[in-house]
Amino acid sequence: MNVTIVDYNSGNISSVINSFKEVAKDKVNIEVTSNLETIRSSDKVVLPGQGSFKSCIDGLNSIDGLIDILNEFALESKKPILGICVGLQMFADIGYEEIETKGLRWIPGKVSKIDNKGGKFKLPHIGWNEINIVKESKFFKDIKNRSHMYFVHSYKFTPDDKSVITATTDYSSNIVCAVEKENIFGTQFHPEKSDKIGLKIIDNFINL
């Protein structure tokens, strides 16, 4: 099996690479590339994202044909794809970080700033937070509800269709932290920074 981590200059993705390689061992081939043919022929794709919504969308647009290949992979071939942090947020129609920016439009919804209740809640939201698994998913196989995951974000994804939500976390409000729509999976938290539980989630994605 080939799993490709998309490298589009979205910040330091070494922890994503290292954790996938640790889980995969010799059973799965992990590639890190922006090569379009490699992505197209992969069995699964991981879309990491660090920085702002706009900078990540700009990063995808800077590689000619990359968004077309990702659309083909996710929407036509319907092969499993995992978005992490801003990688998940880019599934939305639109994001409001920096300036209004169009997303990939895979899961209708918007990305907006977390309401910090007049400074009561620190932004960015950094650290371990409990997740509430609201829908059964192979993605969360053998993960206990109320497990703690590692977060770093100031913006949140609000999908129009609540049925795609698989987990939420409570920080200022009830924030969507995992989604699933057919073959499209996303986490607002960082599984690669969430210790053994995070590695189990990566293992679940590889084994889908």
Question: In angstroms, rounded to a whole number, what is the distance separating the alpha carbons of residues 126 and 122?
Answer: 8
Contact 39, 4 (CB under 8 A): yes
Active-site choice (56, 125, 153, 190): 190
Assign 58 to helix, strand or coil: helix
The answer to whether 192 is a known catalytic residue is yes
Question: In angstroms, rounded to a whole number, what is the distance separating the alpha carbons of residues 44 and 14?
Answer: 18
Active-site choice (56, 153, 177, 192): 192
Contact 94, 110 (CB under 8 A): yes
Active-site choice (37, 72, 85, 153): 85
The answer to whether 177 is a known catalytic residue is no
- What H or E segment, with its residue span, contains residue 66? helix 66-71
The answer to whether 98 is a known catalytic residue is no
Rounded (5°) CA angle 30-84-52:
120
Assign 192 to helix, strand or coil: helix
Which residues are registered as beta bridge partners of 6? 33
By annotation, the residues acting in catalysis are: 85, 190, 192
